[in-house]
A and B are shown apart, each in its own frame.
Chain A
Amino acid sequence: MNKRIEEAYAGRPRRWAFELVIALLTVALLIWSGTAVETSGTTQNGAKIAWNILAGIFHPDTGLLFNLTTQGVPYLLLETICIAFLGTVVGAVISIPLAFLSASNLTPAPAAFIGRLAIMAIRTVPAFVYGLMFIRVTGPGAFAGLLTMSLCSVGMVSKMYIEAIEDLDTKVLESLDAAGCTSWQKIRYGILPQLMPNFASTAIYRFDINLRDATVLGLVGAGGIGAPLIFAMNSYRWNEAGAILAGLIVLVLLVEWISTKIRVKLARG
């Protein structure tokens, strides 16, 4: 018995050359990337600055936190939720035709490849570039933020939709065909039930991300909670930044908790 185990152990696959090369490559890449660590000084009082920042963040400005006007944290959070929500809805709706056009099991390969490349291009452009482009269209404000969110959502959501469409079980469609169903019935009873939970789950997941990324929009003045946060931080008002961050963290955790519950329910049917 022991001998057989030892024989099996001695005959284990050996890929040490391959593994060594990969390991050396990784170490070399890490050393190479270590050369980029540079800073423009001011590290002497870094600890003191860090302490000031932490002290400010842990003593949030309660006046701002519970202020119910349009300047207060609750309204800004509501605006952020609205931007993220509508951005997700618009993005998810645009993604549906795009995903069907780029799914390699439905469309000819060259067209599907072009579609994927376009989706990747959409995903690559940083959000604030879109933000600046949309501000020309709508002027600064929540509307520009909403459009930016939609376009950013399209990039990721349609990628995940494509994966869902390519995983479609076509046997169901064949049996519906055999039972004499019309095209519309095939879509209604064969395709929609397979795709809907997946699509909804992706959209909810993206809503989470949009809520978290809303700070990026503030950089370019595209509405939401980002702008006041960045202003507060740039002018070293850490109490205000703390209040906004506290609101944002609680909101994101809450939304994440709810969305995980819904997605688990969707996945289990």
Chain B
Amino acid sequence: MKLYDRILPPRVLELPNGKQILKYRSRAPLWALAVALLTALSVKVTGFDMGILAARIREFFVILGEMLPPDWGYLSQVWQPLFDTIKMSLLGSAIGSLLVVPFAMLASTNIIRSRLVVSAVRLLLSIIRTLPTLVTALIATYIFGLGTLAGTTAIAIFTFAYIGKILYEEIETVDMGAFEAMEAMGATKARAFVSSIVPQVLPSYLSNCLFCFEGNVRYASILGYVGAGGLGLILNEKIGWREYSSVGMILAVLFVTVFIIETISRAARRRLVQGGEHE
């Protein structure tokens, strides 16, 4: 960035006591230019056209309008897939977030001294995290057959990678005093981990698991699209048959469910975080 200061030299300000200071020019124009260039490229590649959008945006509201009085008669058939979706995300989140604990321990530089182990586990977590959930769900349906087991597996894998990253970052910021003291007294690494690190990371770990579960309920509703069970299955079916009032009903039920789960989980998380601060 030295070149930038040479092209646009910093302004010299003189303070009342005679001292001179340099005020560097803002870098904002550079960032603005970069964003503008990328935007121009993106507009070209994606064929963004304000004209089409303005002329045809009404079409967007056509389907929305057809959804709008939702078909209440369909409600009775929504419960089963809805509970499937919740069960899938609950079980998947629980399995994933429990399985990842030893891996997160292996990926923390303050517990494992070997750089090789830490980087290998981190690379594994990163690769799993970048795998799109839909792809894992689709692969799972080939292996386990259609049904909720495939969805549960996909959610567990996603939770595993997501919680893993947050957890090892959390573990690395804990106070290591208690851990070192226990190791010095002859405790094994696992024992010292359970007694000194777990109490420190537990509130935020639980809070993150709940947050992940919230997101998973939302995501689980998509998984049905590839045949992995739950709301997505009937959503896909009803969209295919253009029964938009049923689609509206499904979305309304999903909205209420997500709202309830988010409210409970937010209350629980607030409690967890405050409890952590008191201790």
Hey, which bits of chain A sit against chain B, CB under 8 A? 29-30, 32-43, 46-47, 49-50, 53, 78-79, 81-83, 85-86, 89, 120-121, 123-129, 132-134, 136-138, 141-143, 145-147, 212-213, 215-216, 219, 223, 226, 229-230, 233-234, 241, 245, 248-249, 252-253, 256
Contact = CB atoms under 8 A, between A and B. Distances in A.
Interface of B: 35, 38-39, 41-43, 45-49, 52-53, 56-57, 59-60, 62-64, 83-84, 86-88, 90-91, 94, 126-127, 130-132, 134-135, 138-139, 142-150, 152, 218, 221-222, 225-226, 229, 232, 235, 239, 247, 251, 254-255, 258-259, 262
Given A126-B218, A253-B130, 13 more contacts: A30-B94, A50-B139, A53-B142, A79-B46, A83-B46, A126-B221, A126-B222, A128-B225, A129-B239, A141-B47, A142-B45, A145-B46, A215-B135
Residue of A36, A49, A79, A241 contacting most chain B CB atoms (<10 Å): A36
7 contacts: A37-B149, A40-B147, A124-B258, A133-B60, A136-B60, A249-B130, A256-B130
A121 B255 contact: yes
Given A30-B91, A138-B53, A37 B148 contact: yes
A249 B131 contact: yes
Contacts of B39: 85-86, 89
Residue of A126, A143, A145, A230 contacting most chain B CB atoms (<10 Å): A126
Contact of A146 (B46, B150, B259): B46
A132 B63 contact: yes
Contacts of B235: 126, 129
B46 A82 contact: yes
A129 B251 contact: yes
B138 A230 contact: yes
Nearest to A213: B132
Given A38-B148, A43-B145, A223-B46, A137 B53 contact: yes
Given A33-B90, A79-B45, A124-B254, A39 B60 contact: no
B131 A245 contact: yes
A79 B194 CA distance: 47
Contacts of B259: 120
B203 to A, nearest CB: 13
A47 B144 CA distance: 9
Contact of A136 (B62, B87, B127): B62
Given A37-B91, A233-B135, A50 B48 contact: no
Nearest to B80: A36
B262 to A, nearest CB: 8
Contact of B48 (A39, A129, A146, A256): A146
A215 B223 CA distance: 12
Nearest to A234: B138
A249 B150 CA distance: 22
A136 to B, nearest CB: 4
Given A29-B90, A120-B255, A142-B45, A128 B59 contact: no
B158 to A, nearest CB: 10
Contacts of A42: 144-145
Given A39-B145, A129-B247, A133-B63, A78 B45 contact: yes
A229 B134 CA distance: 11
Nearest to A124: B255
A86 B94 contact: no
Contacts of B56: 136-138
The 6 closest A-B pairs by CB, nearest first: A36-B87, A33-B87, A82-B42, A86-B42, A142-B46, A215-B132
Nearest to A139: B52
Given A82-B45, A85-B42, A248 B52 contact: no
Contacts of B42: 81-83, 85-86, 89, 146
Given A29-B90, A126-B235, A245-B131, A143 B46 contact: yes
Contact of A137 (B38, B59, B83, B247): B59
